[in-house]
Amino acid sequence: MFDKLTDYQDDIIEGIFRRCAADNRPEVMNLSIGVYRDRHGAAPVMNAVRQAEADVIASQQTKAYVGPLGNMAYAGAIERLVLGDDHPVIDSGRLKTAQTPGAGAALRVAAELIRDLAPDTTIWFSDPVWLHQVDFFTRAGLKVAWHPYYDWQSGTLDFDAMLDGLGKAKAGDIVVIHAACHNPTGADLSLDQWRVLTEFCLQRKLMPLVDSAYQGYGDGIEADAAGLRHMAAHMPEMMIAVSSSKSFAVYRDRVGALMLLHPEGGRGAEEAWLHMGDLIRGLYFMPPDLGAAVITHIMSDASLKAAWQAELETARTHVQRLRQLTVDHFTTALPDFDSRYMLRQKGMFSCLPLSDEQRLTLEQDHAVYLMPSGRLNFAALSEDKITYLAEALNTVWK
């Protein structure tokens, strides 16, 4: 059986990670993986998380199974974090949530649910998008399609082209939308565009699947959820995949959720939720609990919650500062490259206008690692290396 693996080719993204990990040059810069790093280059554990984890471990009385649908206290806390305490769907009976091992597992469960209930559905993604998101659906045997999203010339979201592309979708198709800090471009929908897109989906009977992975890293916790909240208040059906990895810096603990918004609620919503539990049981049986318990404790303790919010805001403003410093350096060192578009974008990422050949040259000649889209993670960029990055880019572009 294993003889069939002789022609195995590494996943393009995993290949970047492996090459970077094996690179021993002192100037190596890993700007590829989407992890927040502080001024010292460390991916820190938040103080609020450290304290909450100590509290949970000290008080934990059992390691018994929590069940396929996971920690329900965490599910409730995440519903209120993402949608807000006063959102109309919170107590409507239409909203059902399962804890998952990160947003990746949430998307995989969503794919299984779609395959069970609507196997002929097409899943629509922005061009470009984080490629691993697509894998969850293609590996479930679902059809995928792409709609225009990003204007590479101006570094802005091309909303008219987006709607024109989605005009080819058929009723019942799924549209994957990033709630904030679009991955990989950082080009986000405005609140007015969220309103137009909501009406567009209603008229054409398209179902949104919103991916909320970076809440708090764009304009702040509340602002980053505003568009998603508007859409959830108006759509009859909707799914939301949530990651706690970035907002709480618990990447390796794998904490996330899949939220289902049912058109009627009641028994129908309950059955959809129970069916989701059956799918989870067949995929990975149950999610890990410690990370979810820690986040639940933070969200239920006023002091810890305030400390977490302050730490997240510090991370957000640090990334914004690195954006500004990068643009300042690029303006001086690369006068033919107008990098000001990066200041209009949100979150950790922007894309550099590089061909794949130029990107690989950066790796080979300068030890600078970027994603295939040219995605640059500002949160992994230290201030003292911005000049080196600019010089490397200048060499590649020449």
Q: Is 246 a catalytic residue?
A: yes
Q: How far, in Å, CA of 388 to CA of 379, rounded?
A: 16
The pTM is what? Answer: 0.95
* 62-302 to CATH, choices 3.40.50.280, 3.40.640.10, 3.30.450.80, 3.30.9.10: 3.40.640.10
Q: Is 338 a catalytic residue?
A: no
Selection from 376, 384, 22 nearest residue 185 by Cα: 376
The one catalytic residue in 124, 130, 194, 308 is: 130
Q: Are 258 and 276 in contact (CB under 8 A)?
A: yes
Higher model confidence: residue 335 or residue 291? 291
Q: Is 253 a catalytic residue?
A: no
User: Which pLDDT value is given to residue 33?
Assistant: 83
Q: What average pLDDT score do residues 64-80 get?
A: 96
User: Which pLDDT value is given to residue 7?
Assistant: 73
The one catalytic residue in 96, 173, 194, 211 is: 211
User: Which pLDDT value is given to residue 274?
Assistant: 95
Domains 2-46+304-397 and 62-302 share a fold: no
Q: How far, in Å, CA of 248 to CA of 278, rounded?
A: 28
Q: What are the residue ranges spanned by the domains of the chain?
A: 2-46+304-397, 62-302
Q: What average pLDDT score do residues 46-67 get?
A: 95
Q: Is the pLDDT of residue 169 over 90?
A: yes
Higher model confidence: residue 218 or residue 398? 218
Q: What is the pLDDT of residues 112-161, one digit of tens each?
A: 999 999 999 999 999 999 988 999 999 999 999 999 999 999 999 999 99
243 class by beta-carbon count within 10 Å (0-12 exposed, 13-18 middle, 19+ buried): buried
Q: How far, in Å, CA of 355 to CA of 255, rounded?
A: 35
Start-to-end Cα distance in the chain:
49
At the top level of CATH, the class of 2-46+304-397 is alpha beta
The one catalytic residue in 246, 253, 289, 308 is: 246
Q: What is the pLDDT of residues 234-250, one digit of tens each?
A: 999 999 999 999 999 99
Q: Is the pLDDT of residue 79 over 90?
A: yes
- Torsion angle of the four alpha carbons 127, 133, 138, 143, in this order, in degrees rounded to the nearest 10: -40
